Amino acid sequence: MSLAIVGAGLSGLAAAYALKGAPPRVTVFEKSRGVSGRAATRRRDGVCYDHGANHFKTKSKQLRSFVCRSLPSDDLAEIDGDVWTFGAGGEIGEGDPDRNAETKWTYRDGVSRLGKHLAETAGVEPHFETRVTLLTQDDGHGANGSAWTLTDAEGHQHGPFEAVLLTPPAPQTVDLLKASRLDEALQERLIEGLAPATYRTQLTLVLAYRRRIERPPGCYALLNDDGDHEIAWLGFEEEKPGHVPDDHATIESLLVAQMAPGWSRPRFRSELGALVPEVTTLVGGLLDVDARRPRWADRQGWRYALPTAAADAEALEDAGPEAGIFFAGDALEGAGRVGKALQSGLRTGERLRRFFGVRE
């Protein structure tokens, strides 16, 4: 029994976790050099910053118990400050008290620790820098009558596997399926099922300052709640335990600006040097401070940052037992949330256990 998982983001790794100790041999393929996908962290100059998911919440009891008990939690870090809000005109308010009462988590060395804990606890070592470019469905193999061979960008073949789980953002999965060789009716059905899941494109700018950049007291981040400002989110990484040491010699404030889709799309390919003056002017205007001349800056483009609508999960789910092809990830949830990606992966992992006939 064997399973290929495409993507070592949280949903793919949560599915691997759900299969821990079960018979199928699980092989994870990841195009980048590390785990955790869009729950991403970078390190530089003795600081770390979450440039994808800013933090996560564990709203259900099950999710909280999973993160706090099933995975190592020594380095889990609660963020004390609140999320304030601002509108198109830049007027700042204290934010929603109910939402601010919910615990906001990251890890002392960044949110990507969640993916690392998942991979270690599940006992999987992904094949990194292995971009899957083609799936081939071979009829007449495997318990359910079909098997899957994966081809990577270098032309290497992997498999056959009895089942495959696809977890990239929906438009990337659609491209992969279009390039693949599988039953035509199945291919069409899967592409149609994924098509409704569209995504926001966003640019992230990270700005490191020698000096403190002032913000309202008790505020850890600012969220644009009407969707009409150029900045969608502005976070202060020094408010997160462990991210910027108090005695750091050269950095006192580390800002993460998630830019709105309308601003990001036309600038998606722009160089960092061209983006910094514009973003620091916008940040300075919002906070009413001088935000020019950061010590250093960084950028990340997210073509598929957050889903704006959900895929047709029902249409996709039938293909699992029929043909051994499964899906997980925030595309199925229609919302870009760490917790939802974890739940999607855990649920699909349970379906895979049934597919492989694993007894509880």
Ligand X SMILES: Cc1cc2nc3c(=O)[nH]c(=O)nc-3n(C[C@H](O)[C@H](O)[C@H](O)COP(=O)(O)OP(=O)(O)OC[C@H]3O[C@@H](n4cnc5c(N)ncnc54)[C@H](O)[C@@H]3O)c2cc1C
Choices 2-10, 240-248, 274-282, 349-357; region in contact with ligand X by CB under 6 A: 2-10
Interacting positions 149-178 with ligand X (CB under 6 A): 167-169, 172, 176
Give the per-residue contact string, 273-312, with ligand X (x = CB under 6 A; - = no). Answer: -----------------------------x--xx------
Distance of closest approach, residue 256 Cβ to ligand X, in angstroms: 9
3-state class (DSSP) for residue 130: coil
Name the residue nearer to ligand X (CB basis): 13 or 251.
13
Choices 35-43, 68-76, 264-272, 309-317; region in contact with ligand X by CB under 6 A: 35-43
Q: Which residue has the tokens 């940052």?
A: 305
3-state class (DSSP) for residue 287: helix
Handedness of CA 261, 262, 268, 271 (dihedral sign): negative
- Rounded to whole angstroms, the Cα distance separating 313 from 332 reads 6
Contacting residue, 11, 137, 264, 348, with ligand X by CB under 6 A: 11
- Rounded to whole angstroms, the Cα distance separating 60 from 285 reads 38
- Residues 254, 243 contacting (CB under 8 angstroms): yes
Handedness of CA 222, 224, 229, 230 (dihedral sign): positive
Binding of ligand X by 8 (CB under 6 A): yes
Contacting residue, 3, 4, 30, 82, with ligand X by CB under 6 A: 30
Contacting residue, 18, 19, 26, 37, with ligand X by CB under 6 A: 37
- Select from 71, 126, 72, 81 the least CA-distant residue to 103: 81
Name the residue nearer to ligand X (CB basis): 2 or 11.
11
Contacting residue, 341, 347, 348, 356, with ligand X by CB under 6 A: 341
Binding of ligand X by 6 (CB under 6 A): yes
Binding of ligand X by 83 (CB under 6 A): no
Binding of ligand X by 106 (CB under 6 A): no
Distance of closest approach, residue 249 Cβ to ligand X, in angstroms: 29
Q: Which residue has the tokens 């959900």?
A: 310
- Residues 34, 12 contacting (CB under 8 angstroms): no
Q: Which residues are CB-contacts of 320 (< 8 A; sequence separation ≥ 6)?
A: 163, 326, 351, 352, 355
3-state class (DSSP) for residue 23: coil
User: Residue 299 is encoded by which pair of tokens?
Assistant: 């950028």
Binding of ligand X by 32 (CB under 6 A): yes
Binding site for ligand X (CB under 6 A): 6-12, 29-32, 37-39, 52-56, 131-132, 167-169, 172, 176, 202, 204, 258, 302, 305-306, 329-330, 336-338, 341
